[in-house]
Structure 1
Amino acid sequence: MSQSATPANDASTVHGDLPPGYRARRGQNWILLGLTYASYYLCRYNLSPIAPELMRDLNLDKSQYGKINSGRDGAYAVGQMVNGLFTDRLGGKRALLIGALGTVALNFVFGLVAWSSLPGMLTLLVLIRSADGYIQAFGAPGFIKINTAWFRRRERGALAGIFGAMINLGAIGAGQLARLLASGFAVPLLVVTLTVPKMDWRYLFIIPPIAVLFIVILMYLGVKNTPEEAGYEIQHDDEPPDDSTERVRLRDVFRKIASNPTVWIVAGAYFCTGFVRRAIESWWAIYLDEIWHVGKDSSLFAAFAWGLPITATVGSMASGYISDLLFAGRRAPVAAVLYLLQVVMTALVLMVPHGGTASAALAVTLIIGVSMMCNSTHSILGTAAAMDLGGRKMAGCSAGIIDSFQYYGALLSGWGLGELFIYVARDSGVDGGPISPTIWIGSMLPFGLIGAGLMTYLWLKNRGKRVAGA
């Protein structure tokens, strides 16, 4: 028999209107889901930290490296649209399992192909990474689908922040593993010290999938799709009571979500977030290598490898709590401020002269600040707003549409920026020269301004109203 969360003043309930044991069971769900999605990022963020080595060993230019990134981002965008709909029928847990097993297999294949001397190497790597992007697109809709059922609107901003924190665990893992593999490391045990020698960069596509496989097995055994599956029942304050087991047609789901103008405004802003977020993620290691001539043993590399995910975590959690506590679950006001701060920091980076140690530290600090603002909007728009807009029945589709636009923006930051770097270097008479910091950072400025404009419009348009996702 399920345990109802209503009425709120029932003596049998604890923590307000949640039934006894609900929070603990939800916590178990959340931990396993968070670890699973964090493990996805071990297999997603494992390319950019070793980009300089990959380009040198495989003789790739910036445009070719950008094609590998854009192939993944483009396929991920398509996958979000398609797989978001499928997730609303498959269920979140099954979607997460499909994505995890797929990325395990495709990362292994990417690493093995990069070790080979097969003809058409670039084409193969683009195709493999693209397939990996598509299959990983089962992850976010699955995660959001499950958590929408377990968390109500007034709790989702905080959840989105924690979701961002879990993502960044994967980012930290990928960056630190790349550094350790490049230099070797020692593990002190009880009686001996295990010494791991320097390893080839290709192992970054062999080791992370093993961790993903272990974690996804735990997830599949311990996660429930809905509170009802675990014997609980809660009333969502943003949805009427209904049969949570009822199945809806994919066509009806898509029509309802796609007809909501707020979805497209949020998606447009998320497009801007996607460009900036992926522009930083894809090119920071190359920026350090070509502009500041430092490697993985430098303090600047460590600053990026640790600073990007840690500040993203802080920003995601803070923005989520602020939108929940100070704005009653409204996302647009917080997002508008974040975009404006991103614009200010981007402009400041452009003023920093690229020469001298002090300038390097200042430039890196400001770029990390831009990333922090960008990842904060990523959290509250791509997770919290998507959950609000879709509700428990259509969260997969809502998340898929919105998140796909992030990766349409990301498409431009891979191949597009790569081609632009080559063009600018050739135009200045230095064919194959270093990336231009002015082009790299300057390209982010208009996207921050557009994002700020869209979120300010949504904020003012719905001021004083209770509108899902706004």
Structure 2
Amino acid sequence: MKVDKAKSTQNKVFILCWIAYASAYLCRVNLSVAIPSIQQYFSWSKTSLGLVGSSFFWIYGIGQLINGYLGDRVSGRTFIFIGLMASAITNIIFGFTPIAMGMIILWAINGYFQSMLWGPIIKILTKWFPKEQNTRVSVGISTSMIGGYLLSWSFSYQFLKYASWYWVFIVPGIIVLFYAFVWFFIMKREPYCLIDGLNFNTSIEKELVHKHDEKGLTLSKFIRKNKLWTVAIACIAQGIIKEGISLWGPAFLMEKHHSDTFSSISSILLIPFMNLGGILFSGWLNKKFAYNHKWTIMALFSASILPIFGLLLFVNHSMPVGGLLLGTCSALMYGANTLLLSVIPMDYAKYNKTSTVAGFLNFSCYMGAGISGVLIGAISDYWGWNGILIIWILMAVLGVIMILHSSLSNLAREKVYD
């Protein structure tokens, strides 16, 4: 009975975490659907709108660095409640804002509060589930991103069909504000040890760390000692591709085929479904690689080059083909994202740095995304979309090189300790 109760509690915690992160996407990726309508409504350039998106990415990234560190030291339940509530309120205010600078500032604020979610969620899941389930739990929680995308984009298109752009922000804000309180009153506090019937943390407690004590290292020394800077550069490259598609994918397809929002919806909504496939595929592929996460990540980066070349050659043929190729690239990056930002941080639970590492790598990813947001807008305005595709190819190659360097460094380090 105790085991059944423990597993029931685990499932409840997982579902609450899943809904929390999926609901956050209602107040996050709604901008990408609203961009064409906002541009038409205010007659703004894509460069200006790119700054709105980039402000989110940059502040979100910085917030990940700060809040990832704090997330290992405070209650994840309270931290996530504050993040959801504040993000929801910011979205509601955004819907009433008529000037570009106001939107840039508000979306940056939204980015900070959204950064309070991922690291603490990974920390909570690490405490409630044994290490043997890391890949399964990571893949599972990563599907919340897809659920959030589908809900956000579906709702947003319906709002744009029957109302103006500002409802794309006001209504999701109200929904997420409601769930923030649901989370706070239903979510259980994190256990110091697993509840009776399951040994939650024995896999962490019994795992031996190296003779030197890495728990007391500063963040910068910890990053250097574990060669996390190489993984961080790969995260930047992944962020440029993944979030570039997320922010500009709808506009890319619509401009290439001179279509409006509603005639292109089927091709655009294909992307989140393919992202889900990419996440599930990464779990399967990681198993085939005997859970060697970094070799799996290199394979995903390498494979992403093919659909980008396909976009260079075939995107003008038809919108479904363009959507399929764009979705394939996005799916592969989502697969890499699952391993980079979920599985790898979980490996550092033995140092009590799960949230810190997740925050640092997420910070790196969104620094890349911040560069991507304004860069794509500017290059699209002046040189067209092909220049963006070439940059994505270069970033995929960079990702492979950095993860290979990290993997070889870890092998050398293990030989030293052997």
Scaled by the length of structure 1, the TM-score of the pair is 0.81
Q: Does 1:312 align with 2:290?
A: no
Q: Distance in 2 between matches of 1:399 and 1:225?
A: 20
Partner of 1:29: 13
- Distance apart, 1:272 and its partner CA: 0.8
CA contact (8 A) 1:70 1:412 kept: yes
Partner of 1:454: 402
Give the counterpart of 2:132 among 131, 137, 154.
154
Cα distance change on mapping 1:461 and 1:255 into 2, 3 Å: closer
CA-to-aligned-CA distance 1:133-172 (integer Å, 9 cap, x gap):
0111001111111111122333111212112211111111
Query: Structure 1 counterpart of 2:16, which letter?
Result: L
Query: Structure 2 counterpart of 1:234, which letter?
Result: F
Give the counterpart of 1:442 among 386, 390, 409.
390
Q: Equivalences for 1:249-288 in 2 at 5 Å?
A: 252=217, 254=219, 257-288=222-253
Q: Distance in 1 between matches of 2:205 and 2:348?
A: 11
Q: Does 1:102 align with 2:86?
A: yes
- Structural RMSD (CA): 2.6
Q: Distance in 1 between matches of 2:79 and 2:350?
A: 18
Q: Does 1:206 align with 2:190?
A: no
Give the counterpart of 2:159 among 172, 181, 191.
181
Cα distance change on mapping 1:278 and 1:403 into 2, 3 Å: same
Q: Distance in 2 between matches of 1:66 and 1:266?
A: 26
Give the counterpart of 2:295 among 333, 348, 352.
333
CA-to-aligned-CA distance 1:58-117 (integer Å, 9 cap, x gap):
221011011001111110011001111111111211111111011011101100113xxx
Q: Distance in 2 between matches of 1:442 and 1:88?
A: 39
**What percent identity do the matched residue pairs reach?**
22
Cα distance change on mapping 1:259 and 1:104 into 2, 3 Å: same
Query: Structure 2 counterpart of 1:457, which letter?
Result: H
CA-to-aligned-CA distance 1:247-271 (integer Å, 9 cap, x gap):
xxx9856356434333222211111
Partner of 2:310: 348
Q: Does 1:131 align with 2:109?
A: yes
CA contact (8 A) 1:160 1:317 kept: no
- Distance apart, 1:210 and its partner CA: 1.8
Q: Distance in 2 between matches of 1:251 and 1:224?
A: 29
Count of aligned pairs: 409
Partner of 1:61: 45
Q: Distance in 1 between matches of 2:25 and 2:414?
A: 34
**Unaligned segments of structure 2, at least 5 residues:** 209-214
Could you say what secondary structure the match of 1:112 adopts? Answer: coil
**Unaligned segments of structure 1, at least 5 residues:** 1-11, 14-18, 115-120, 184-197, 243-249, 425-435
- Distance apart, 1:238 and its partner CA: 4.5
Give the counterpart of 2:146 among 153, 165, 168.
168
Cα distance change on mapping 1:360 and 1:308 into 2, 3 Å: closer
Query: Structure 2 counterpart of 1:458, which letter?
Result: S
Query: Structure 2 counterpart of 1:237, which letter?
Result: S
Q: Distance in 2 between matches of 1:274 and 1:353?
A: 22
Partner of 1:187: none
Cα distance change on mapping 1:92 and 1:441 into 2, 3 Å: same
Partner of 1:140: 118
Q: Equivalences for 1:410-449 in 2 at 5 Å?
A: 410-424=369-383, 436-449=384-397
Partner of 1:186: none
Cα distance change on mapping 1:408 and 1:251 into 2, 3 Å: farther
Query: Structure 2 counterpart of 1:446, which letter?
Result: L
Query: Structure 2 counterpart of 1:291, which letter?
Result: K
Cα distance change on mapping 1:438 and 1:279 into 2, 3 Å: same
Could you say what secondary structure the match of 1:21 adopts? Answer: helix
CA contact (8 A) 1:296 1:302 kept: no
Could you say what secondary structure the match of 1:44 adopts? Answer: coil
Scaled by the length of structure 2, the TM-score of the pair is 0.91
Partner of 1:378: 337
Query: Structure 1 counterpart of 2:134, which letter?
Result: R
Q: Does 1:396 align with 2:355?
A: yes
Query: Structure 1 counterpart of 2:118, which letter?
Result: A
